Chains A and B, each alone.
Chain A
Amino acid sequence: MRSFASRFAEWLRRCGYLARKADFDEQSNEEAQFHIAMRSKELQNEGITPSEANAQARREFGSVLRMQEDSREAWQFNYFEQIATDIRYAFRQLWKSPGFTLAAVISLALGIGATTAVFSVIYAVLIHPFPYAAADRIIRIATEDKGGNLHRVALTGSQLQLIRKANCVEDAVAWLNWELNTTGSDLPEDVKAVFITPNASNYFGVPPLQGRGLIPGDAPPAGNAHPVVVLSYSFWNRHLGRSPTVIGKTLQMAHKDYTIVGVLPPRFAWNGGDVYLPLQISYDQAQLYGISIRLKPNVSLRAAASELQSLFQQFAKDTPTRYPENFRIHLERLNDQYINGFGRMLYLLFGAVVLLLFIGCSNLSILLLARGAARQQELAIRAAVGSSRSCLLRQLLTESVTLSLIGAGTGIFTAYAMVALIVKWLPAYSVAREVVIDINLPVLAFSVLLALLTGILFGLSPALQMIRPELEQVLRSGTRTIAGRAATKRTHNMLLAGQIALTLLLLTGAGSAIQGFRRVTHVHLGYDPQNTLDVEIPLHPNSYVKQEERAVYFETLRRRVAGIPGVTSVALTDHAVPPFSGAMQRVEIMGESGREWHQASLNLVSANYFSTLKIALSRGRLWDTAEASHGARLAIVNATMARQFWPHGDPLGHAIRLPELKPEPPFRVSIPASDGWLQIIGVVADSQNDGLLAPVKPAVYISSTIWMDMGMNLLVHAQTSPRRMLHAIRQQIALVNSDQQIPDYTPSLDELVQIQPEWQQERLVTMLCGIFAGIALILAIIGLYSVVSYAVAQRTNEFRIALGASRNEILRGVLSSFSPSIGIGIGTGVLLAVGLDSFLTKLSEGTGGHPVIILAVVLLLASACTCACFVPAWRAASVDPMTALRNE
């Protein structure tokens, strides 16, 4: 073989030709003319006339153009032509064996598609969910009480200033959420308004799509905030149809005009606001604001928490009612609330998908190796006939690359399709609002690269084996030698076993996920969410400022809605819409010293709340309407509270009080001495009140007339889907009060269960795990089927040579040679599954591998593999012996 140096030199010479191409034709023409002239002279010396001599010389030389073309060809890079031929040949080969091509492409496509899709989701959801500047330093502040419950924090204007000056704080924004509606047009539309301090633009660092963000000048320290508004992308889309000329126009909300100064990009969704308005901080001690801070760089959460702790202790001294006793500051990064549940599952899913990628690649390898082994004979013949090794190598390489590229192309397409599918299926609240899921290009590139490498490496294997050619042997003995080539067989078996093991692992994971999902969905809720709608009734500020007025108003609404045909019952409640019902409050028990710290979840309900939700009354009684209208001080507790607070007795007849239940007129109104003693008259059964899976909190239920906030919820239960009656409900409410706005969002209790992250995440992960496991199984079957087909084809000669070999013998032979790999694969898989069980349990919170699942999976896999072996063996073993001999 020629050395690399000589080939390189030749390549350089050809490059030199390229540089002199223009002159070449001229020069070769000159050479030709010289030759012709010399010949002509020779002819003239023999006595022929000059003109005749010229003509003859020209004739003898032949076409000058032809000579130029041929000479030129000697210099040209003919690689492109070669490659074009190779590619055509490759396509023909792939077309001739459609089963193999399809299997290979599917393996690659699914592996690449699934991996990229899932990792893109992980990246968008966990690694880079927020578009805000330095989003990892933005902190939510909460106070954690002795019971481990978290409470939101709200600060006054002066407290806000102190926070801003704290050492660990780089910047802070304060906000107020408000429900406004658009006025001045036909239909009032709900607007979620977020009043926010105008340093928000700097704080979030998200450049507006149009116009400008809020600037400090919008809320000058002296004077009022300017009436300007910045629109969110979704509001701009929904209400203004993405009209390009909104800047400068007026938006009227709650009968006040605001000038639109900007539109935000789609990923900005702080507090889920529709519009953002400048907030003027007032130093009124009664006005509280929500707050978000960004820490300085390199400040740990612990350091920040301890500094803030002392600050907040001071605040608590000033306003002790707003803070629990002995609280601790709890800081949380923006994404933490989403990461803790879903994040772990996503990583689990990612592990599953990486497995799938490897399974896909190993499947491809198996297919290529099997095919390569089958083509040994063909390659040997071609080499003997005169194809150079480099020529064969080049063709094989082209074939592998073509196949890999087709597979990779399909894989990219699959990746995009899968991401779109996942986005469609993604549960609404499991990820932060700001998340936008897109294909992650580095991962796509990695998967594609890996697939290409696998394809090329294993596609070249038959040619690489020819580095030590034993051509004559191969030609003579047909495929006998090939079937027994130890190295190939070993690689084959290892790949097969490995693939089966990984498939088993994946199947087990899917089984566990399915089991976990069933646990979540069939958990005992304790209440019946079917056919019940939650309609929120928010109050405008300064309306119904007296307790009686408000109670009567809500009761009127309730009765009107209850009168709609088809509605079976309507309950009133504030804070008690399951599965997250109640607000934690301090509870004092009469007869105890007061040094005891008790907390319970407070639910303000109407008496028919329990019947509407079908929560059973275990002991005692409920209050009646007369008692409710008088605001009688009666209470009902749930079984958990009865058990925790009166472990040795009966709560009935005891008295409790809620010292924090004080009125704050004109916003929160109550009966006189609402924080006084309440008598317990009944115990109800437990119902989930802290999400779907968390243990039930102790809960106390009192009449909604005792204490009312700026709004109430109607729980409307109907015979069929109450959503159909939404229009009638709105009508009835409008008849009572035409200014009463109802939010657009009126979920049913079923939906509230289904939007719970636990429910949705489990469902998504289960679905995906199931799909991936199914894919892995299909791939394993395809791989096994192909390998066995090829192996049997090789052996058909082997066995038939010893004439008289029956079909059973062939089948037995094939199965016996493959069962070790299958067996080892399954065994290894089981070991892996059991070994990873503890690890998996920690990740997926208690849904580890149950022995029953593993057993079921083993059976499934074993039977699938047996079928995959049996069918091709059966088919090929039925080949006519004469045909087999003829192959020899």
Chain B
Amino acid sequence: MQPSQFLPGTLYMVVLRTLARGPLHGYAIAQKIKEASEENLAIEDGSLYPALNRMLVKGWLSAEWGISESNRKARFYSLTPLGRKQLQAESKEFERLVQAIQLVMRTV
């Protein structure tokens, strides 16, 4: 089955959540999302890095060069306190929306 596209506006939220446990490099973020969603969600490689840059600009992430598990140089992204706040806000909003839709679907 083809992995579905991200709902508009949720890409940032998902990436932020992925980084909540600790810093990861770009490839690891993409892997994590694929695994955690059981292959249902996938980020296009071409749009991952621009998105990460945008989040850097907004101050939700910070980046540092480090050594990966395969001893290669890689850029690691981590959440900033601002990013954590953003994650909280977005996930709350998402929950609200989803519950509202579910209500409609069940009751109407």
Interface residues of A (CB under 8 A from B): 6, 9-10, 13-14, 17, 27-28, 30-32, 34-35, 37-39, 41, 60-63, 66-67, 70-75
Q: A34-B27, A34-B68, A34-B73 are in contact. Are A10 and B57 (CB under 8 A)?
A: yes
In contact, A74 and B45 (Cβ under 8 angstroms): no
**0/1 interface trace, chain B 39-55, chain A, CB 8 Å (1 if under):** 00000111101101110
Q: How far is the CB of A71 from chain B (nearest CB, A)?
A: 4
Please give me the 3 A-B residue pairs with the lowest Cβ-Cβ distance, nearest first. A70-B50, A74-B53, A62-B46
A-side contacts of B72, CB under 8 Å: 34, 37
Q: How far is the CB of B72 from chain A (nearest CB, A)?
A: 6
Docked pose: A79 CA to B18 CA in angstroms: 32
Docked pose: A96 CA to B39 CA in angstroms: 53
Cβ-defined partner of A34 (8 Å) among B25, B44, B52 = B25
**0/1 interface trace, chain B 12-38, chain A, CB 8 Å (1 if under):** 000000000000011100100000000
In contact, A32 and B73 (Cβ under 8 angstroms): no
In contact, A27 and B75 (Cβ under 8 angstroms): yes
Docked pose: A160 CA to B47 CA in angstroms: 95
Determine if B4 is an interface residue (Cβ-Cβ < 8 Å): no
A-side contacts of B54, CB under 8 Å: 74
Q: A13-B56, A34-B27 are in contact. Are A71 and B50 (CB under 8 A)?
A: yes
Interface residues of B (CB under 8 A from A): 25-27, 30, 44-47, 49-50, 52-54, 56-59, 65, 68, 70, 72-75, 82
What is the predominant secondary structure among interface residues of chain A facing chain B? helix
Q: Can you name 7 A-B residue pairings with CB atoms under 8 Å?
A: A9-B59, A30-B75, A31-B26, A38-B70, A60-B45, A70-B49, A73-B50
In contact, B56 and A61 (Cβ under 8 angstroms): no
A-side contacts of B75, CB under 8 Å: 27, 30-31, 34
A-side contacts of B65, CB under 8 Å: 27
A-side contacts of B44, CB under 8 Å: 62
In contact, A71 and B49 (Cβ under 8 angstroms): yes
Q: A34-B25, A34-B74, A39-B27 are in contact. Are A74 and B46 (CB under 8 A)?
A: no
Docked pose: A37 CA to B25 CA in angstroms: 13
Cβ-defined partner of B57 (8 Å) among A14, A31, A63 = A14
Q: A34-B27, A61-B45 are in contact. Are A74 and B59 (CB under 8 A)?
A: no
Q: A63-B46, A67-B46, A70-B50 are in contact. Are A31 and B74 (CB under 8 A)?
A: yes
Q: How far is the CB of A177 from chain B (nearest CB, A)?
A: 80
B-side contacts of A62, CB under 8 Å: 44-46
In contact, B26 and A35 (Cβ under 8 angstroms): yes
Q: How far is the CB of A44 from chain B (nearest CB, A)?
A: 12
In contact, A75 and B68 (Cβ under 8 angstroms): no
What is the predominant secondary structure among interface residues of chain B facing chain A? helix
In contact, B45 and A71 (Cβ under 8 angstroms): no
User: Looking across the interface, which residue of chain B has its beta carbon closest to that of A76?
Assistant: B57
Docked pose: A103 CA to B34 CA in angstroms: 62
Docked pose: A10 CA to B46 CA in angstroms: 24
B-side contacts of A74, CB under 8 Å: 50, 53-54, 56-57
Q: How far is the CB of A506 from chain B (nearest CB, A)?
A: 56
Docked pose: A35 CA to B75 CA in angstroms: 10
Q: How far is the CB of B52 from chain A (nearest CB, A)?
A: 8
B-side contacts of A67, CB under 8 Å: 45-46, 49-50
Docked pose: A60 CA to B46 CA in angstroms: 9
B-side contacts of A63, CB under 8 Å: 46
Docked pose: A62 CA to B30 CA in angstroms: 15
A-side contacts of B70, CB under 8 Å: 38, 41
Docked pose: A63 CA to B74 CA in angstroms: 19
User: Looking across the interface, which residue of chain B has its beta carbon closest to that of A2?
Assistant: B58
Q: A34-B73, A35-B27 are in contact. Are A75 and B57 (CB under 8 A)?
A: yes
User: Looking across the interface, which residue of chain B has its beta carbon closest to that of A60?
Assistant: B45
In contact, A38 and B27 (Cβ under 8 angstroms): yes
User: Looking across the interface, which residue of chain B has its beta carbon closest to that of A32?
Assistant: B49
Docked pose: A39 CA to B58 CA in angstroms: 28
Most buried by A among B25, B54, B57, B73: B57
A-side contacts of B74, CB under 8 Å: 31, 34
B-side contacts of A10, CB under 8 Å: 57-59
Docked pose: A39 CA to B30 CA in angstroms: 11
B-side contacts of A38, CB under 8 Å: 27, 68, 70
Docked pose: A666 CA to B65 CA in angstroms: 108
In contact, B50 and A6 (Cβ under 8 angstroms): no
Docked pose: A64 CA to B52 CA in angstroms: 15
In contact, A13 and B45 (Cβ under 8 angstroms): no
Docked pose: A6 CA to B72 CA in angstroms: 35
In contact, B49 and A28 (Cβ under 8 angstroms): yes
Most buried by B among A6, A17, A71: A71
User: Looking across the interface, which residue of chain B has its beta carbon closest to that of A33?
Assistant: B72
In contact, B45 and A35 (Cβ under 8 angstroms): yes
Docked pose: A62 CA to B49 CA in angstroms: 12
Known: A13-B56, A35-B30. 16 other contacts (CB 8 A): A6-B82, A17-B57, A30-B75, A34-B72, A34-B75, A38-B68, A38-B70, A63-B46, A67-B49, A67-B50, A71-B52, A72-B53, A74-B56, A74-B57, A75-B53, A75-B56
User: Looking across the interface, which residue of chain B has its beta carbon closest to that of A17?
Assistant: B57
Q: How far is the CB of A714 from chain B (nearest CB, A)?
A: 91
Docked pose: A855 CA to B64 CA in angstroms: 83
B-side contacts of A27, CB under 8 Å: 65, 75
In contact, B59 and A13 (Cβ under 8 angstroms): yes
A-side contacts of B26, CB under 8 Å: 31, 34-35
Docked pose: A30 CA to B25 CA in angstroms: 12
A-side contacts of B30, CB under 8 Å: 35
Docked pose: A84 CA to B65 CA in angstroms: 37
User: Looking across the interface, which residue of chain A has its beta carbon closest to that of B72?
Assistant: A34
Docked pose: A474 CA to B102 CA in angstroms: 32
B-side contacts of A72, CB under 8 Å: 53
Docked pose: A10 CA to B61 CA in angstroms: 12
Docked pose: A31 CA to B77 CA in angstroms: 12
Q: A38-B27, A39-B27, A41-B70 are in contact. Are A31 and B58 (CB under 8 A)?
A: no
Q: How far is the CB of A65 from chain B (nearest CB, A)?
A: 11
User: Looking across the interface, which residue of chain A has its beta carbon closest to that of B58?
Assistant: A10
Q: A10-B59, A27-B75, A34-B25 are in contact. Are A66 and B53 (CB under 8 A)?
A: no
Docked pose: A61 CA to B56 CA in angstroms: 21
